[in-house]
Amino acid sequence: MISHAQLERKPAVEEREVDLIFHAPRHINLLTVEPLDKKTLHFAIMHTFGTIDGGIQNLYGLDNGATIQFSFEYALNSNFSLGAARQSRDKMYTLYGRYHLLKQTEDNSMPVSVSLMGAAGINTSDYGFLQEANPSAADRSSFVGQLMIARKFTDKISLQASPMLAYFVNPNPVFLIEGRENLYLAVGFSGKYKLSGKSSLTLQWIPNLNNDLKNNVGVGIDLEAGGHVFQLYFVTSQALNEQYLLAGGNGVPGEGFRLGFNVNRVFATGR
* Residue 255, pLDDT above cutoff 50: yes
111 — alpha (psi -120 to 50), left (phi > 0) or beta?
A: alpha
pLDDT per residue as tens digits for the range 100-116? 999 999 998 999 999 99
Domain boundaries, the chain: 4-268
Cβ neighbours of residue 57 under 8 Å, at least 6 residues apart?
A: none
Map 86-109 to HEC letters. Answer: EECHHHEEEEEEEEEEECCECCCC
Q: What is the pLDDT of residue 1?
A: 46
Q: What is the pLDDT of residue 12?
A: 47
Where residue 238 falls among pLDDT bands split at 50, 70, 90? confident
Widest CA span in the chain = 64
Q: What is the pLDDT of residue 188?
A: 95
Higher per-residue pLDDT: 129 or 46: 46
Q: How far apart are CA 70 and CA 229, in angstroms?
A: 15
* Residue 56, pLDDT above cutoff 80: no
pLDDT per residue as tens digits for the range 182-201? 999 999 999 999 998 899 99
Q: How far apart are CA 235 and CA 125, in angstroms?
A: 25
pTM for the full model? 0.87
CB atoms within 10 A of CB 88: 14
Q: What is the pLDDT of residue 74?
A: 97
Give, in degrees to the nearest 5, the angle at Cα 68 between 126 and 81: 100
Q: What is the pLDDT of residue 171?
A: 92
Where residue 34 falls among pLDDT bands split at 50, 70, 90? very high
Where residue 49 falls among pLDDT bands split at 50, 70, 90? confident
Cβ distance 6 to 41 under 8 Å? no
Q: What is the pLDDT of residue 254?
A: 55
CA distances from 92 to 29, 72, 76, 146, 187 (A): 15, 14, 24, 18, 22
Which one of 2.40.160.40, 2.40.40.20, 2.40.30.10, 3.40.50.300 gives the CATH number of domain 4-268? 2.40.160.40
Q: What is the pLDDT of residue 57?
A: 63
Q: Which of 8-22, 44-58, 209-223 has the lowest mean pLDDT?
A: 8-22
Q: How far apart are CA 173 and CA 214, in angstroms?
A: 18
Give the percent of the chain with pLDDT over 90: 64
**Amino acid code (one letter) for 252:** V
